[in-house]
Structure 1
Amino acid sequence: MKITTAVPGDLDQLLAFREEAASWISKLGSDQWSRPYPADRLLLTIEAGTVFMLRDGSRTAGTITLTPQAEEGLWTPEELGEASIFVNKLTMSRDYAGKDLGGRLLDWAGDRAYQSSAVWLRLDAWTNNAALQRYYLRHGFEHVRTVREGGAINGGPRVSGWLAQRPASPAQHGFEDQTPSPTPFGS
């Protein structure tokens, strides 16, 4: 399997992944991703080069978005002063479920963060999705805190404020990485 940078032609696949994941998560009792993600916003992240695709031959097995920017209002100024890469939208096709490809993608992300001289690989997860939180804990993340207030709409409850991090570190993820080398922090 190989990892490539997403291109605009991947937009429909990424939107379909999101719908598939939302449907599966809903059956597990969570409202995570129940609102459709705006295609124009997703296209901007693709064009920024922050979306990566896990490909199995001609099929796409999963995706992950990595950015050096945190969502506003989650991390303290001191934490934001530490070089970090933030994981967003980790999604696997249900056809590839149960193979720990998501865990290997997280290892790849931690390795990429390390290559960019980041100290941390960080994420925010849905505050009421305990299964997802346990997943990240099993993959080496430590819970930092849960931010429940200051959501994007009128400062109301935040739906994705469970914060976790793990040190950026080299990893043997086993994927063929066909992405450009990450830019080191401070460059």
Structure 2
Amino acid sequence: MRITLAQPDDLSALLNFREEAAGWLSELGTDQWSRPYPADRLAATIEAGTVFMLRDGTATAGTITLTTEAEEGLWSEEELRAPSLFINKLTVARTHAGQDLGGRLLDWASDRAFRSSLWWLRLDAWTTNEALHRYYLRHGFQYVRTVVGGDAVNGGPRVSGWLAQRPAERAAHGFEDETPAPPWAPDMHGE
């Protein structure tokens, strides 16, 4: 399997991917991702080069979004002084479930962060999805805190404020990495 940057023509597949994940999550009893994600916001993240696709031949097996920009209101000023890579929208296709591809994508992100001289791999998870919290804890993340204040971007209470982090470190993920080095680490792929 290989990891590539998402391209503009991946937009509809990513939207369908998210809808599939929302249906699966609903079956598990959580309302995570029940609101449709705005296509223009997803297109902007693709254009920014922060969305990565896990490809299994011609099929999309998973996706992850990585950025060095933290969502406003989640992390303290002190925490933000530590160079970090933030994970968003980690999703694995139901056709590829049960292979720990999500865990391997987390390892790939950790390795990418480490090779970029970043200290932390951080995320915010759906506040009420306790199964997801346990998943991240099993994959080496440590709980930091839960932010429950308002969400200025979407209006209303924050729904994704469970914060966790793990140190960035080298990790064997087993994927073929076809992505360019990030702008903050231009020589990252050099050994």
Residue of structure 2 equivalent to 1:164:
164
- How high is the TM-score relative to the length of structure 1? 0.96
Residue of structure 2 equivalent to 1:113:
113
Distance 1:34 1:74 in 2: 21
Q: Is 1:176 matched with 2:173? A: no
Distance 1:168 1:85 in 2: 8
Distance 1:2 1:96 in 2: 14
SS of equivalent residue, structure 1 residue 164: strand
Distance 1:92 1:2 in 2: 14
Residue type of the alignment partner of 1:110: S
Residue of structure 1 equivalent to 2:70:
70
Return the offset for 1:183: 3.3
| Cα RMSD after superposing both structures | 1.4
* Structure 2 unpaired stretches of 5+: none
Residue of structure 2 equivalent to 1:128:
128
Residue type of the alignment partner of 1:54: L
Distance 1:180 1:5 in 2: 8
Residue type of the alignment partner of 1:112: R
The answer to whether the 8 Å contact 1:2/1:55 transfers is yes
Distance 2:101 2:157 in 1: 32
Residue type of the alignment partner of 2:3: I
Distance 1:140 1:17 in 2: 26
Distance 1:60 1:155 in 2: 32
Return the offset for 1:181: 1.5
Q: Is 1:51 matched with 2:51? A: yes
Distance 2:152 2:52 in 1: 26
Q: How many residues align?
A: 186
SS of equivalent residue, structure 1 residue 174: coil
Distance 2:152 2:131 in 1: 24
- How high is the TM-score relative to the length of structure 2? 0.94
Residue of structure 2 equivalent to 1:29:
29
Return the offset for 1:184: 3.4
- More divergent stretch after superposition (148-157 vs 86-95): 148-157
**Aligned counterparts, 1:83-94, within 5 A:** 83-94=83-94
Residue of structure 1 equivalent to 2:103:
103
Distance 1:151 1:30 in 2: 19
Distance 1:84 1:20 in 2: 30
* Structure 1 unpaired stretches of 5+: none
